[in-house]
Structure 1
Amino acid sequence: MDRRTFLAAPLALAGCAPQTPGLEGGFTGIAMDRGHALRDRLEGAAPAVTHRTRVVIAGGGIAGLAAARALRLAGVHDGVLLELEDEPGGNSRAGSVGGIACPLGAHYLPVPGDHAGEVQDLLEELGLRRRVAGRWQYGGDDGRHLCHSPQERLFLHGHWQEGLLPVQGVGESTLAQYRRFSRRVDELARVAPFTMPALKAWMPNRPPAPIHQALDAITLDDWLAREGLDDAYLRWYLDYCCRDDYGAGSARVCAWAGIHYFASRHGFHAPGDDEGAEREGVLTWPEGNGWLARRLAALGAGQVRCGTGVLRIAETRHGVEVDALDHASGRIERWQADRCIVALPAFVAARVVQPAPAFVQEAARRLQWAPWLVANLRIGVPLADREGAAPAWDNVLYSDPVPGGLGYVDAGHQRLDPGALLAGPTVLSYYQALGDLPDGRAQLAERPWTHWRDAILAALAVPHPDLVGRATRMQVTRYGHAMSIPVPGTLGFLSKIGLQCPPGKRWQLSNGERVPLPPTPGTARLLFAHADWSGYSVFEEAFTRGHAAGLAAAG
């Protein structure tokens, strides 16, 4: 990609990578071998034991956890959630390095807008949303769960600047293109609103607006070229945003998703156009969205069975059968239930649901998934810093030499003790989206953890020269299929599935409002709930789909 860089080419950088013989670490967080064990397991093995329950939830990501909570809200307490990993949460799991909590995946949740009523209701139940003097207040009683300032900074031209949009050292032509893009985002949002979650735009059983369909048909790069938006800084920033939310860059992501990133939440603000505007609120924790996942798991109905991989889901004459492998004992257990909520990625659902409905098989063929990597690096004492903006929560390198590199967040940024913040150890969580690498998944599976360690340390040593001497441990978490990528045509394909679903029931939120739930893909006894059915992976999409499936299963 044609980007301006402040560092030498990646190969040259790798040649001068810092020596790290004493830095311990390894892979952690996701047991990739378990997924392979399920794939390779012989079919037809007899179950060692059979259980009976009312609802089985297959998959313990945010959609599955939301479904379990919805069952409880609907008065259903007889259920089980089966999760492959040792802790539920999916891409929102948390971990720790040397006793310091850190995210293993998603690390924040923007304050939800009016279309995300189900998420707002959850935040109210968790004490993160309440009405004060007629206005909604987020972040708890003292606002501690809102991201502290400074929130973001960018390493550009050898120093740090505030915010992630390149502004220091750019010319007037760049600023003019920022303003043009900002106006186009506003214009498109007025023609046909972009909602978060996006599935709300398809209700009640209506197709996406014509302008959304047109944007879905081309990549963001192609749309920018048609608009004459060719500035290198603007292109870098939009490519970064696509990789950050969708796992792949603007050359693969459709224009609808690229516009939706801004129009559905906070818009795009060119420098000087948002004077006096309130900064978008972001909820975050040292352990990232693992804070939400762990509390959501405690709110669900029935039992949670971790370390249990689903092998087979089949409709029967009187309900469903779910066969699952308990990885600790090595035995197969069968669950008989009235209904099953399939909160699994589409490609997994197509393999384990027997026979899989045609729309599930087609989704498995058409959707594309991005591999991801999260490297958590423990730092014993604060790092030396280049000049410019002060240390922030989110720290990004312009044209990061690591392929797919997205920078790091500081797990210690939310500490309330100033002394600990300034002098204590912390964990830097570095993110890498590999959706643009043709062999990204194979690299994750085959390359040693030191390959990722050395490239990341070499990149971060430029803004932090003393990094190697202060780092004590790195733990690397791999996601082979972290999220679906909204490539051109994804929105149109998935909206057709939504149009074929029966209308959702209405649900009363805690504020008394009765809102329609979105249609849920499924059959008589199987209900499908996963962010894949929205075409991209964010908390609001997964949660809303799981919530709707849970209420439908209880009905």
Structure 2
Amino acid sequence: MNGENTRNKPLTRKDFLRYMALIAGAGVTLPQFVACEAKKDQYGHIQGRIYGASAAVGHKIREGGFAAPMHTETVDAVIIGSGVAGLSAARMLHHNGCHNYKILELEQHAGGNAGFGRNAFSAYPLGAHYLPLPNLENQPLLDLLQEAGILTGYTADCLPMYNETDLCYDPQERLFIHNRWQEGLVPQFGVGEAALAEFKRFFADMEKLRWQRGSDGLYAFDIPMARSSRDAAYLQLDNLCMKDYLQQQGYRSEELYWYLDYCCRDDFGAGIPVVSAWAGLHYFASRKGKSANADSAAVLTWPQGNGRLVQHLQQFSNNNLQTNGLAYKVTPQGREVQVDYFEVATGTTKRIVAKACIMATPQFVTQRLLPAGQYDHQFVYSPWLVANLTLDKLPESRGYPLCWDNVMYNSRSLGYVNAQQQSITQEAPEKQVLTYYLPLDHLSPADSRRYALGLSHAHWVKLITDDLETVHPGIHAQLRTIDVWVWGHGMIRPHTGFITSDAIAAARRSGYPNVFFAHSDLSGISIFEEAFYQGNNAALALLDYIRT
């Protein structure tokens, strides 16, 4: 399966707009969608702009034509990419006494899809916005959280204690279903007994699976996923999609299918007909976190989302970070690696000569930087839209009050997060800030990416506003700003057969003794824990190399 393939008959821009109207949950036809653009007075007061990864500059890699490097510097190591994997690698180098290195980052800021922004009223995430409690065996991650002051210590029975202001405040989650909000994301309001019984059975099965071990003694599902069992009885689940698995297990509930589809789209950017059953089950059975002062299902979150973790990681490499630096060529030569990059601010090309290199880049970038023909593994990436909304006041709705996570049943979006949930001030905010999430999975990734990057800000304003009007009538009049961030390659997509494929296994091997790979797509799942794990491993391997 290759989800990047487009249809034989190319879509037109109108086709895409029709699909996007449906994605927003408005259910309108194309003529209605286009006609609404004329209603300037309804949406014209909403300011904002489109942000996003620097696609135009990044595409220079594909186009080529760079001038010969005008300046050369020599370091011990170079890291390409300052997402969580790259920053984690830099931290590991720092803690092991290696300070003569450089990080190249295309964007103006570090963090990748764990980055964040800020306006006059709140910080807000540009992507990943929470971290579940780590598994007790994941000591490197627990150490990071303790180093950052998020984990405050351990009890006598070795259970971690977390800072209360870092644990998600109540109320945490609500779902809009049958024209009102209910507490929690599992559908309950207006749901029949048969469906509720299926939910009970599914969660009981997941609890049992959580603690099962394979013939190799490893948990069937674990984090980091490299510690998961290689028992064929579990790995074969990668050969069918999550929807087929549910059907085989006798599940029939529409509400259960919606909930699991929502969960997969939330973590993988694709639904249960696409995501492998192994990945879908990993979502539920891999997490085994415990704490002395929080429920095992609790999450750590901040107004800036996982940007809080990025801020901590970045402090170890601030003096080593080169932003607006587009690496365009990596040339291993014996005991050295030459990294050529384009300095966007000055329009000049430069070269770094290092003993070793960590490529903390997604596979579609890695394959273009190294010598041709070796790394084209055809990974599939899910495109995303994240929008931060500033409004005067959120119109009230029936049922449960505003929570941290607010989801709408049967919407193509994933709803919105209240960016100010973790605020400790006693005063009501002057403006409200919400972060809205929409995986662009209605079309193939290539089609969605191509057309989404071409949409105007006005189109996104209408799509987002129409979706939210269904649960908050009158919200369009309250909105002041919608800042849109389009992630063309938001996260790796663990489609059927990918986790156990030869492609991902081959992608983990650089073929050079002094070039190391570090990115969550090498795990097949785009979560903080995997990026952190990949970055640490690459840094330790690099240290072993340069010290021999």
Q: CA deviation at 1:329?
A: 0.6
Aligned equivalents of 2:250 and 2:387: distance in 1?
A: 37
522 and 435 in structure 1: CA distance in 2 versus 1, 3 angstrom threshold:
farther
1:483 aligns with 491
Aligned equivalents of 2:223 and 2:335: distance in 1?
A: 37
Amino acid at match of 2:487: Y
Aligned equivalents of 1:301 and 1:97: distance in 2?
A: 23
Aligned equivalents of 1:308 and 1:371: distance in 2?
A: 23
1:158 to 179, 186, 189: 179
1:390 aligns with 401
User: Where in structure 2 are the equivalents of 1:173-184 lying within 5 Å?
Assistant: 173-184=194-205
| Residue 310 (structure 1) aligned with residue 327 (structure 2) | yes
Amino acid at match of 2:60: A
Amino acid at match of 1:178: F
1:146 aligns with 167
Q: CA deviation at 1:495?
A: 9.2
314 and 117 in structure 1: CA distance in 2 versus 1, 3 angstrom threshold:
same
The alignment partner of 1:406 has SS state of coil
431 and 136 in structure 1: CA distance in 2 versus 1, 3 angstrom threshold:
same
2:369 to 352, 359, 364: 352
Provide structure 2 residue ranges, at least 5 long, that are not aligned to the other structure. Answer: 1-18
User: Where in structure 2 are the equivalents of 1:410-425 lying within 5 Å?
Assistant: 410-420=418-428, 423-425=429-431
Mapped contact 1:78–1:302 kept (Cα < 8 A): no
The alignment partner of 1:338 has SS state of strand
Mapped contact 1:6–1:156 kept (Cα < 8 A): no
2:29 to 5, 11, 23: 11
1:195 to 222, 240, 252: 222
86 and 378 in structure 1: CA distance in 2 versus 1, 3 angstrom threshold:
same
1:429 aligns with 435
Deviations, residues 163-188 of structure 1 (Å, cap 9, x unaligned)? 11101110110011112222332343
Aligned equivalents of 1:542 and 1:410: distance in 2?
A: 25
Mapped contact 1:199–1:534 kept (Cα < 8 A): yes
Aligned equivalents of 2:469 and 2:162: distance in 1?
A: 34
Mapped contact 2:418–2:433 kept (Cα < 8 A): yes
1:508 aligns with none
1:171 aligns with 192
2:245 aligns with 223
Aligned equivalents of 1:494 and 1:383: distance in 2?
A: 49
| Residue 261 (structure 1) aligned with residue 283 (structure 2) | yes
| Residue 52 (structure 1) aligned with residue 52 (structure 2) | no
2:459 to 447, 451, 457: 451
2:270 aligns with 248
Deviations, residues 27-61 of structure 1 (Å, cap 9, x unaligned)? 12432222123322315x31010010000001111
1:512 aligns with none
63 and 6 in structure 1: CA distance in 2 versus 1, 3 angstrom threshold:
closer
22 and 328 in structure 1: CA distance in 2 versus 1, 3 angstrom threshold:
same
464 and 279 in structure 1: CA distance in 2 versus 1, 3 angstrom threshold:
farther
Deviations, residues 234-278 of structure 1 (Å, cap 9, x unaligned)? 0000000000000111110000011110101169xxxxxxxxx93
Aligned equivalents of 2:24 and 2:333: distance in 1?
A: 61
TM-score by length of 2: 0.87
Number of residue pairs matched by the alignment: 505
Mapped contact 1:375–1:476 kept (Cα < 8 A): yes
Provide structure 1 residue ranges, at least 5 long, that are not aligned to the other structure. Answer: 203-207, 268-276, 502-519
Q: CA deviation at 1:405?
A: 0.9
Mapped contact 1:102–1:287 kept (Cα < 8 A): yes
| Residue 26 (structure 1) aligned with residue 49 (structure 2) | yes
305 and 318 in structure 1: CA distance in 2 versus 1, 3 angstrom threshold:
same
Amino acid at match of 2:395: A
Mapped contact 2:48–2:482 kept (Cα < 8 A): yes
Mapped contact 2:176–2:182 kept (Cα < 8 A): yes
Q: CA deviation at 1:323?
A: 0.3
Mapped contact 2:172–2:405 kept (Cα < 8 A): yes
Aligned equivalents of 1:247 and 1:133: distance in 2?
A: 38
2:382 aligns with 370
2:346 aligns with 329
Question: Considering only aligned residues, what root-mean-square deviation do their CA atoms show, in Å?
Answer: 2.4
Mapped contact 1:320–1:340 kept (Cα < 8 A): yes
266 and 169 in structure 1: CA distance in 2 versus 1, 3 angstrom threshold:
farther
1:126 aligns with 148
293 and 7 in structure 1: CA distance in 2 versus 1, 3 angstrom threshold:
closer
Aligned equivalents of 2:198 and 2:349: distance in 1?
A: 59
Using the TM superposition, name which of 183-192 and 445-454 deviates more.
183-192
1:274 aligns with none
Amino acid at match of 2:312: R
Using the TM superposition, name which of 174-183 and 85-94 deviates more.
174-183
Q: CA deviation at 1:436?
A: 3.8
Deviations, residues 174-232 of structure 1 (Å, cap 9, x unaligned)? 01111222233234342542101212226xxxxx2212221100100111111121210
Q: CA deviation at 1:106?
A: 0.6
Aligned equivalents of 1:129 and 1:101: distance in 2?
A: 22
Aligned equivalents of 1:240 and 1:496: distance in 2?
A: 25
6 and 52 in structure 1: CA distance in 2 versus 1, 3 angstrom threshold:
closer
2:529 aligns with 540
Amino acid at match of 1:374: V
Mapped contact 1:326–1:333 kept (Cα < 8 A): yes
Mapped contact 1:71–1:300 kept (Cα < 8 A): no
Mapped contact 1:25–1:474 kept (Cα < 8 A): yes
Mapped contact 2:224–2:530 kept (Cα < 8 A): yes
Deviations, residues 386-444 of structure 1 (Å, cap 9, x unaligned)? 121111001001111xxx41110011111112322xx5312111001113422210122
2:116 to 80, 94, 103: 94
1:236 to 248, 258, 272: 258
Q: CA deviation at 1:111?
A: 1.3
The alignment partner of 1:416 has SS state of coil
8 and 428 in structure 1: CA distance in 2 versus 1, 3 angstrom threshold:
closer
